[in-house]
Amino acid sequence: MTIQGVDTFEKLQAQLQGLHNEISVLSKKSQNDALNKFKLKFVNQILDDANKLLGDNYKPFNDFDIFEDEDMPTNSDVAMMLTQYLNCFEKLRSDNVKKQDTYPGHWFWVIDGELSDIRTVMPKIIKEK
């Protein structure tokens, strides 16, 4: 991971989480309703950026990139995919952070193979090393 990668990760994860929260509310009210074009434009933009960051190793599905405009997805379809992306972001975080011994409970990003001073939250998925 690089410093720019960490910045991009944090921005995209916040955007994905915000979208997920909003779309989940819509999905609970009317799960089979189609998402409107305005929202879909932003969902696809964030998914495209997320795909670039995740790469082939972390992307949730090899055969999915973004939603098709012609076949408007339902609220529940979008909520499901955003959940998958958030889980993959946590896997990426888990593989690129370490707990620092000096400060128990404090997690830091590993930048270019070295423990950095960029603090993060404990990953939800912890990879045993």
Instruction: Provide the whole-model pTM.
Output: 0.91
Query: Minimal CA–CA distance to 75: which of 38, 111, 29?
Result: 29
Say if 125 falls within a structural domain.
no
List pLDDT tens digits, range 51-81.
999 999 999 999 999 999 888 999 999 999 9
In a domain, 126, yes or no: no
* Number of C-beta neighbours around residue 50 at 10 A: 25
Q: Is residue 102 part of a domain?
A: yes
> 82-117 pLDDT, tens per residue?
999 999 999 999 999 998 877 677 999 999 999 999
Q: What is the DSSP letter of 1?
A: -
Residue 68 falls within a domain, yes or no?
yes
- Within 13 Å and on the Cβ side, how many CA atoms surround 90? 14
Range of the domain at 8: 3-120
Q: How many domains does the chain divide into?
A: 1
Residue 107 within any structural domain of the chain: yes
